[in-house]
Amino acid sequence: MALFRANPAAEIAKLRKKLAKAADPDSPESLAMRHRIGVLLVETGDWPAAEEHYTELADAQVRVEGDQHPGTLGAWLNLATAKAALGQTEDAVHLMESTVDIYEAVSPADPATLRAQLMLSEMYSLSGEYDEALAVLSKHLNACVDKFGEYHELTIAGARRKVSVLRTLGRYDEAGSLNSGLSRKPRDDYERDSARAVGLLIRAEAGEAKTVQYKARELAEQYRTPEFVEVLAAVLLRAGEPAEAAELYRAVLSAQPAAQQWGPAGELARAYLESGQLDAAETLAGEIAAADGLPDGHPLKLGARATLARVARERGRDAEADRELAAVAAGLTEAFGPKHPDVVEVSGWLEKD
């Protein structure tokens, strides 16, 4: 039986029609409708409209409720999200930083503040500021443990986010240690096995992909959700099974088409390349490398450029490949340092003639 699917465009049109008839666009009822329109614009990924909408809504919120009201702060957070999606990363980071500062000053241990800190950590990661992301997450986790304890959903969300940042930095021992704690204190079987899957992914990233691929497959077949399928795809790509990995990554991306999932998309481009699908690899990697939603020096963009360089090498354009891989290696070194696994890997490709 098909499930009913809401029509965001129809709901937006209906709300805008009601607003046009409202006597006061800044009344509580009107502001509530305007917030709902903003949420729908974000959900549908209409970022230009969302930026314009939240700019106007934030101004209205400040005028009516002041700059410390939850509605004002929420509007600023969503405005920052829209700006980031449009490639205005620096402005987005500054806006979210100032918003989180107000949250922390007004109500440091409130759940809304803690969620805003998580959003800021993601914004820092988007801009490639991983040390700043870790600092925010440490503050977040300390506040969550003090207020809610180790088993609360916000504590666990912060810990999982920190695991992700540590993985990005290649700090696999720290990531594995923190993640193992998550598998020992789950609220249910899914959460426990989700932490176990991330543990398998960490081991695969650290060079044990062939050892853990069977357990990753078992979990993916048991749950069949995008989260577990993506872990299996990542493990298989590192275990030398790029064709199957590409098939799985396509499924993951098709399950969530509205999101800008640069990480899985970059992995899919690499899987295309390593399974001999050069045209598909070049097209997808080119889209990521040109995307407005990532700053030019972001490691995900650099990874896409590395895939493009390897495609060029496969097509006999060695000089072009060498120049681009050298530039990618320099960018990754600046972001992570010379000993990071990605730097070592790209340097190895550069040395292969």
| Residue type at 342 in one-letter notation | D
- Encode pLDDT of 281-320 as tens digits: 999 999 999 988 788 889 999 999 999 999 999 999 999 9
Q: CA angle at residue 249 from 338 to 345, to 5 degrees?
A: 15
Kindly compute the dihedral angle of the four CA atoms of residues 176, 182, 188, 190, in this order, to the nearest 10 degrees: -30
Among the four given CATH numbers 2.60.40.10, 3.40.50.970, 1.25.40.10, 1.10.3720.10, the one describing domain 30-40+50-82+91-124: 1.25.40.10
pLDDT at 7: 81
Residue 258: the pLDDT is 41
pLDDT at position 259, please? Answer: 45
**What is the pLDDT at residue 2?**
38
User: Which parts of the chain sit beneath pLDDT 50?
Assistant: 1-5, 257-259
Locate 130 and state its tokens.
């991983």
Sorted by where each begins, the domain ranges of the chain are 30-40+50-82+91-124, 134-240
Distance CA(6)–CA(270), nearest Å, equals: 35
Q: Report pLDDT for 181.
A: 85
pLDDT of res. 3: 39
The DSSP string of 47-95 is HHHHHHHHHHHHHHHHHHH-TTSHHHHHHHHHHHHHHHHTT-HHHHHHH
